[in-house]
Amino acid sequence: SGTEIIESGLHENLIEHLNAESVLGTITSVDNAIEWLKRSFLYVRIQKNPSHYKLKNCSNQDAKLSAEHRLEAICVKDLELLNKFGFINLHPQLRTIKSNANGSAMAKYYIKFKTAAALVQLKPHASLKDMLDVLCKSEEFADIGFRQDKAVLTVLNKNPAIRFPIKGRLSTADLKVNLLIQCTLGSIPFTEPKTMQSMMLEANSVLPHACRISRCLIDIAAEKQDLVMLRNALDLARCLEAKTWETSPLLLKQIDSIGPSLAKLLAAAGISSFRKLESIHPSQIEAALSRNPPFGKKVLELAATIPRPKISVTQAKDNTDPTRVDLFFDLRLENPATAKTSAKRRSLSAFLVVGTSDNVFIDFQQIPIFKLKDGVSIRLKVKLANAQQKIVCSLIHDGCVGLDASTIISPDINPVHFRNLPRNSSAGAIKPAAQKVDGVKKRGDSQYTVVILRNRPTY
């Protein structure tokens, strides 16, 4: 007859859609969620063709219900799962729903529920390796499997450029994903003729998902206010975006006209960093790469388009509290005239990360590169807990490694002022509820030893 019945696919990713709708404010209660579901195409089709829909997470009791009632029961269970893992706040009595930062991150980066749940369950102070291991087990890589390439992967695993070699046998698909990512970041080529093409295609398909998931992890770590986890998440996300480890001698392959082969030649000539590159003459680049002029000049021009963050911090004493220091940040670019503000169809930005030398979170902000061109001023008031604490401030490029700017501040505070502080004291930490005092926004948490009073950035 030339016609075909169309069925819904909403049931396959219902929990992700429920989270997204709660972030948008469409769903504000359990009853509201069921009403939303009843207006969906899925609800219409499941009544007319219930045998087509094999609903997951359906208990024996729910299985006795009609198809539409089973769907409603699964909707409620999905909302309870979102609440259990911290993606929504579900009131136990009123049954109202409110989204939170973790749910917003999951929706913003289109992350599957099981993947996002694994990210929020990462242990405190998770290392870079821990994050990479969890990322590689993501549901987004479910279509990656072994294709007669175990022997090739075993050989690649022994390459010195593999930063985190896998111990034991390569028995699961997540280990293959792990090696594909590490081969990309370590600039390890796939040379086996039989599997070269398929492995290159798989590596190219893995990387975009890995970038999205790692950016979600940044938001989750910032919400937890876990400084170690946040810094590691930033490092992983930037390395994936740049396709190179921050410790690699091939950092210059991030320049558009420089690939891994040319980066190796430059490294062999002693040119392995952006600082070194900008200090040499174009003819030295051409000699190292056996290229004719004006290739060296073009390389330097392309390198100059990569934004180079610059940070300077001054401090002042706070007359109201001798254990508090007033910090004034001046954030800008070293190359505002030539730096580009977007790449790969997205706007570039930099992350300001401030913490203490003993890994206590102070502040985290994302600032667009185009605003850094004119300079950004930020004021932070930090209350310290002991005389040994220093303040570590970093301005980090979000898509490039090897160009971070950082400084360490030794607070100008007399140690005698800390003597009267109680042991294990939070040093007068302010309650989490926001307050306004003299136009300065306070926020803090009694579990931390640092209090921040922040003025809004002057963009």
Report whether 349 contacts 367 (CB < 8 A). Answer: yes
**Are 221 and 236 part of one and the same domain?**
yes
**Predicted pLDDT at 430:** 31
**Predicted pLDDT at 451:** 45
**Predicted pLDDT at 65:** 62
In a domain, 272, yes or no: yes
Domains in the chain, number = 4
**Are 320 and 412 part of one and the same domain?**
yes
Q: Which of 69, 99, 129 is the last residue of a domain?
A: 99
**Are 133 and 213 part of one and the same domain?**
yes
Closest CA to 411 of 321, 351, 331: 321
**Are 126 and 198 part of one and the same domain?**
yes
CATH number for the domain spanning 255: value is 1.10.150
**Predicted pLDDT at 319:** 79
pTM of the model: 0.88
In a domain, 394, yes or no: yes
Contacts of 232 (CB under 8 A, 6+ apart): 126, 127, 128, 131, 221
**Are 273 and 178 part of one and the same domain?**
no
What 240-243 contacts at long range (C-beta under 8 Å, 24+ apart), as own/partner pairs, is 240/181, 240/185, 240/207, 240/210, 240/211, 240/214, 241/211, 241/398, 241/399, 241/400, 242/399, 242/400, 242/401, 243/184, 243/185, 243/207
**Are 334 and 431 part of one and the same domain?**
yes
**Predicted pLDDT at 421:** 63
Report whether 111 contacts 87 (CB < 8 A). Answer: no
Rounded Cα–Cα distance for residues 358 and 336 (Å): 34
**Are 423 and 370 part of one and the same domain?**
yes
**Predicted pLDDT at 16:** 97
Rounded Cα–Cα distance for residues 254 and 162 (Å): 19
Report whether 71 contacts 46 (CB < 8 A). Answer: yes
Please give the structure tokens belonging to residue 253: 């392959």
**Predicted pLDDT at 449:** 39
Using CA atoms, how far residue 307 sits from 2, 79, 258, 336, in Å, is: 56, 43, 17, 8
Phi, psi of 283 (to 5 degrees): -65, -30
**Are 280 and 406 part of one and the same domain?**
no
In a domain, 325, yes or no: yes
In a domain, 111, yes or no: no
The tens place of each residue's pLDDT in the chain, 459 residues long, gives 568 889 999 989 999 999 999 999 999 999 999 999 999 999 998 888 888 877 665 565 655 567 788 888 889 999 999 999 999 999 988 899 999 999 999 999 999 999 999 999 999 999 999 999 999 999 999 999 998 889 999 999 999 999 999 998 998 999 999 999 999 999 999 998 989 999 999 999 999 999 999 999 999 999 999 999 999 999 999 999 999 999 999 999 999 889 999 999 999 999 999 999 999 999 999 999 999 999 999 999 999 999 999 999 999 988 788 889 999 999 999 999 999 999 877 899 999 999 999 999 999 999 999 999 999 999 999 988 888 899 999 999 998 999 999 999 998 888 887 776 665 554 323 333 333 323 333 333 323 334 444 444 544
CATH number for the domain spanning 35: value is 1.10.10.10
- Domain of residue 300 covers 251-304
Helix (H) or strand (E) holding 435: strand 435-437
**Predicted pLDDT at 47:** 86
**Are 394 and 329 part of one and the same domain?**
yes
Any alpha helices (H) in 345-447, and if so which ranges? Answer: 369-372
Q: Which of 99, 133, 166 is the last residue of a domain?
A: 99
CATH number for the domain spanning 353: value is 2.60.40.150
**Are 84 and 149 part of one and the same domain?**
no
**Are 146 and 269 part of one and the same domain?**
no
CATH number for the domain spanning 165: value is 1.10.3380.10
**Predicted pLDDT at 57:** 59
Rg of the chain, C-alpha, whole Å: 26
**Predicted pLDDT at 440:** 31
Q: Which of 268, 286, 304 is the last residue of a domain?
A: 304
In a domain, 263, yes or no: yes
In a domain, 436, yes or no: yes
DSSP category for residue 447 = T
In a domain, 439, yes or no: yes
In a domain, 274, yes or no: yes
**Predicted pLDDT at 286:** 95
Mode of pairing for the β-strands spanning 349-356 and 361-368: antiparallel
**Predicted pLDDT at 61:** 62
**Are 171 and 192 part of one and the same domain?**
yes
Please give the structure tokens belonging to residue 26: 């469409």
